[in-house]
Amino acid sequence: MPHRMFFEASYILLHRPIVSPHDIATASGPAAVCLQHSSEATNLAVRFTRTFGEYLRYLPRYCWFVAASFDIVMLDSKIQSVQRLALDRLSLWLNTMTNNLLRAPSMRRSVQHISSRIYEVLARNPYLAQSPTGISILAHLRGQRGMGGGPSPLGAAANEGMGFFELLQNT
Beta strands in 25-118 (DSSP E): none
How far apart are alpha carbons 61 and 42 in whole angstroms? 10
Question: CA 156, 42, 87, 23 torsion: positive or negative?
Answer: positive
pLDDT at 51: 86
**4, pLDDT greater than 80:** yes
pLDDT at 147: 38
Summarised one tens digit per residue, pLDDT across range 114-170 is 999 999 999 999 999 999 999 999 998 888 754 333 444 434 333 343 444 444 454
pLDDT at 1: 66
**17, pLDDT greater than 70:** yes
pLDDT at 37: 95
How far apart are alpha carbons 113 and 159 in whole angstroms? 7
pLDDT at 128: 94
Neighbours of 94 (CB within 10 A): 21
Q: Provide the pLDDT confidence category of residue 3 given band limits of 50, 70 and 90.
A: confident
pLDDT at 79: 94
